[in-house]
Structure 1
Amino acid sequence: MSASSISTPITAADAESDLAEFDRTTSRWGRLTMIAGLILSVAGPLYLVFFTGLDISAAQLWTAFAAVAAVFAIIWIVEPVTYFPILGPAAMYQAFMIGNISSKLLPSALVAQTRIGAKPGTRRGDFAAVAAICGAAAVHLVSLALFVGILGTWLISIIPVDVIDVARLYVLPSVLGAVIVQAILTIKQLRITIIAVAIALLVQFVLLPLVPAIAFLTTGIAVIGTIIVSWLARDRKPAAAVEN
Structure 2
Amino acid sequence: MSQTTISTSATASTRTSTTAPAAGTEQELAEFDRTTSRWGRLTMLAGLLISLAGPIYLVFFTGLEISAGQLWTAFAAVAAVFAVIWVVEPATYFPILGPAAMYQAFMIGNISSKLLPAALVAQNRIGAKPGTRRGDFAAVAAICGAAAVHLVSLAIFVGFLGTWLISIIPAGLIDVARLYILPAVMGAVIVQSIVTIKQPRVTIIAAAVAVLIQFVVLPVAPGIAFVTTGIAVAATILASWLARDRKPVAAAAD
TM range (shorter): over 0.9
Partner of 1:56: 66
**Greater Cα radius of gyration, structure 1 or 2:** 2
The answer as to 2:215 corresponding to 1:205 is yes
Distance 1:226 1:175 in 2: 22
Distance 2:206 2:167 in 1: 42
Partner of 1:174: 184
* TM-score, structure 1 as length reference: 0.93
Partner of 2:162: 152
2:47 corresponds to which of 30, 37, 50: 37
Distance 1:132 1:239 in 2: 33
Q: Deviations over 1:99-156 (max 9, x none)?
A: 0000000000000000000000000000000000000000000000001110121110
Distance 1:108 1:78 in 2: 20
The answer as to 2:25 corresponding to 1:15 is yes
Structure 1 residue 237: deviation in Å?
3.1
Distance 1:197 1:216 in 2: 19
The answer as to 2:152 corresponding to 1:127 is no
SS at match of 1:53: coil
Structure 2 counterparts to residues 1-244 of structure 1, below 5 A = 10-239=20-249
Q: Deviations over 1:146-204 (max 9, x none)?
A: 01110121110110000000000000000000000000000011000000000011011
Answer with 10-19 or 67-76: which moved more.
10-19
SS at match of 1:11: helix
Distance 2:180 2:245 in 1: 38
Distance 2:235 2:63 in 1: 47
Distance 1:173 1:145 in 2: 25
Distance 1:141 1:199 in 2: 37
Distance 2:143 2:51 in 1: 22
Residues 71 and 40 from structure 1, CA distance in 2 versus in 1: closer, same or farther, beyond 3 angstroms? same
Partner of 1:3: none
Instruction: For structure 1, list consecutive stretches of 5 or more residues without a partner in the other structure.
Output: 1-6
Higher percent of residues as helix: 2
Distance 1:238 1:15 in 2: 32
- Report the identity percentage: 81
Structure 1 residue 14: deviation in Å?
1.3
* TM-score, structure 2 as length reference: 0.90
Q: What is the one-letter code of the residue matched to 1:91?
A: A
Instruction: For structure 2, list consecutive stretches of 5 or more residues without a partner in the other structure.
Output: 1-16
Distance 2:245 2:40 in 1: 36
Distance 2:223 2:129 in 1: 38
Q: What is the one-letter code of the residue matched to 1:85?
A: P
Q: What is the one-letter code of the residue matched to 1:133?
A: I
Structure 1 residue 239: deviation in Å?
4.8
Structure 1 residue 9: deviation in Å?
7.6
Residues 77 and 145 from structure 1, CA distance in 2 versus in 1: closer, same or farther, beyond 3 angstroms? same
Distance 2:186 2:237 in 1: 20
SS at match of 1:234: coil
Structure 1 residue 236: deviation in Å?
2.2
* Count of aligned pairs between the two proteins: 234
Q: What is the one-letter code of the residue matched to 2:94?
A: F
Pairwise CA RMSD: 1.4
